[in-house]
Amino acid sequence: MNNRKNDHPQGGPLFRVFTGLAFFAAGTVFGQTPPDRDLSLRKISLFSSGVGYFEHSGTVEDNGEIAIPFNLEAVNDALKSLVIHDPGSGDLAPSVLYASETTLARTLKSLSVDLSENPGIARILDSLKGAELELRAPASMRGRVLGVEFRSTQNPRNPEQQDREPWLSILTAQGIQTLALREISSFSFTDPVIQADLERALDLIMASRGNNTRNLTALLPGSGRRQVGLSYIIPSPVWKVSYRLDLNQDQPVFQGWAIVDNDSDTDWNEVELSLVTGRPVSFIQNLYAPYYLTRPVLPLAIAGIAQARSYAPGFDRNDAAAFDHQEFAEEADMEVMKDSRSRAVPAPAQRSSASVLSSRPVNAAQGQAAGYQFSFTIKRPVSLPRQQSAMFPMVGGPIQAEKILVLDGMRARQGQTNPAISAELTNTTGMKLPAGPITVFDGGTYGGDSLIEFFPENEKRLISYGDDLSVIAQASLAQTSEVNSVVVAEGIMTITRKVSYIWNYLVKNTHKDDKTLIIEHPITAGTVLKTGQAFSERTDALYRFRMTLPADKELAYTVTEETPLSERIELSRFTVANYLGYTSNTEIPEHVRNVLGEAMRLKRRAEDAKSSLTNLEARRTRLESDQDRVRRNLEAAGNETQQGMDYLRRMTEIDREIDSLNTRIESAQTQVRESQREYEQYLSSLSLR
């Protein structure tokens, strides 16, 4: 008989196969026959998403059971992903049994002795009223439990303090006996059911103490000896990668190592190990704990009871019309009651003889390989002891690499800086390489560290591992604006300008050797490169310009970005000063300036007419004010006095002057309307492109 401990890796160790009948309780599988053989761990795939795929295989004979222990934190993933491969099961599908998260508490509560809340002896005895006991206190007696009460007693150590002591009351053949629990030296229950439940509760509590594992039992119905397999996904440490790059040789050498952790309690013995890189969707869903929905409570759909009613005295049959009316009313009431009952008690639905769900398997889906991830499979089987980590060679060999300098344009804008010592790698390894650190060896020694993101095959990638202090650089900006076109149509002038951002890079090389330099120039939002200027590479955020940096010299390099700027102007809102500014701007084409000059002349004429009208109206306002003042003086002096006659003459002169001004104002108003109409018609008729 194989008595080896059933160790497991975070949920999946070497599984034991049991044959014959077994029963499941408290998360442990007990078999009536010894295990046939181990289901050995054959294959492991570790993913960069924090999960691992574990695959076991072995043999089973006839109806088999496989106990699969998992760590508690892995049960949800196991329930989500467990796959059983048993080609010999035929039409009988495998099934999986397990204790739910609430199994222990519910099982303890279901026993006649409830130990779920860690009660004391007094509470246990009080909960078993009516149970028969055999006890020694110190004399032996037998009786049925009446209950437990607490009495106040004096503390022997502190007379001023009162203690509460439990006392047991039992019904014996001699009557009711009461005794303190401290006087009872031993007791037992005569009912074998209670005694068995007590022992089972204690067994359950002992089995669950410090146990962080949960068993899933796979039931494999079938006949004969056959090969079976199990696979599942559970949380696992993320595998890591580190690289080395040797630039000392004529042909650079690249090497990658995978770092793997076996944090389980099982040794990995000769397993096929695959390391998968990618970004799959991965999540945890709480499938282990029972989940209950809150449902509404509706009233029962029953007929109810008839309402109580009283009857008034009847009429003689002399009034036939009244009787007929009463009879009609009673029939109507009966119809209402009949209809009410028919609504309250629905007819029973007919039950179908067919099952709601078919028990036969249905090929509803077809699986296929995930082609957008990349797997590294270690060529030789891997052995790794439990709670140990290891490094395995993943990739190695020559790689295409070129040493260069990379100037960060953003840093150069902020002041004097040094370009980064870098290398341009081309992935010629034939593998998709995951992200990781690179230790670079250069000049016969350690050169520095670098990081690289996911690196597909045949793609180029820059890495930097230091600053070149022998090269300094800085950048400055100049900005220009140039009018490209002016369009005038329907009183709107649209001016399109070309704004240029001229970045001047100055790089000084104090080293004796020529160097290859890449300037990473940040892209200015909304701009394009000047026509004819080319870049070697472009990303979403920057251009890369490659050039040779001469030895012991300075290099000036200019990057020009251009963007169009459009300005829409309503000419009707222009003042004479606005027109004057545009007609004197030599960036505006001459024929447009001439048109704007004519518009300025008409605008000035309209404004002069408005000014003349305003002056005339102001003068009339002053005369009307004088006229009002003279009229009040005339009323005060009277018409017969000399002063009154002077006021009267003055009134006459003002009237004649106001009449003359009214005539001139009417003419000026006409002039304003005509000049404004002429100006507006001129603007609306303009069409220049």
Q: pLDDT-based confidence at 616, cuts 50/70/90?
A: very high
Q: How do residues 228-258 score in pLDDT, each as one tens digit?
A: 888 998 999 999 999 999 998 888 999 999 8
Q: Which residues pair with 30 in a beta bridge?
A: 23
- Answer yes or no: is pLDDT of 341 > 60: no
Q: What residue type is 330 in one-letter code? A: E
- Answer yes or no: is pLDDT of 282 > 90: no
More confident residue, 24 or 46: 46
Instruction: Provide the residue ranges of all domains of the chain, joining segments of one domain with +.
Output: 1-119+192-236, 132-190, 240-265+377-398+420-466, 471-569, 576-688
DSSP annotation of 523? P
Q: By the 8 A CB rule, do 214 and 99 touch?
A: yes
Q: How do residues 211-233 score in pLDDT, each as one tens digit?
A: 677 778 888 888 888 888 889 98
Q: How do residues 572-583 score in pLDDT, each as one tens digit?
A: 888 999 989 988
- Residue 360: what pLDDT? 31
299 burial via Cβ count (<10 Å: 0-12, 13-18, 19+): exposed
* Of the candidate ranges 121-130, 397-406, 577-586, the one whose mean pLDDT is the lowest: 121-130
CA distance 317 to 153: 88
- Answer yes or no: is pLDDT of 404 > 90: yes
Q: Is 82 helix (H, G, I), strand (E, B) or coil?
A: coil
Q: How do residues 458-480 score in pLDDT, each as one tens digit?
A: 899 999 999 999 999 999 999 99
Q: Which residues pair with 260 in a beta bridge?
A: 390
Question: Across the chain, what does the average pLDDT equal?
Answer: 79
- Measured at the alpha carbon of residue 638, what is the angle toward residues 634 and 643, in degrees to the nearest 5? 70
Q: What residue type is 399 in one-letter code? A: I
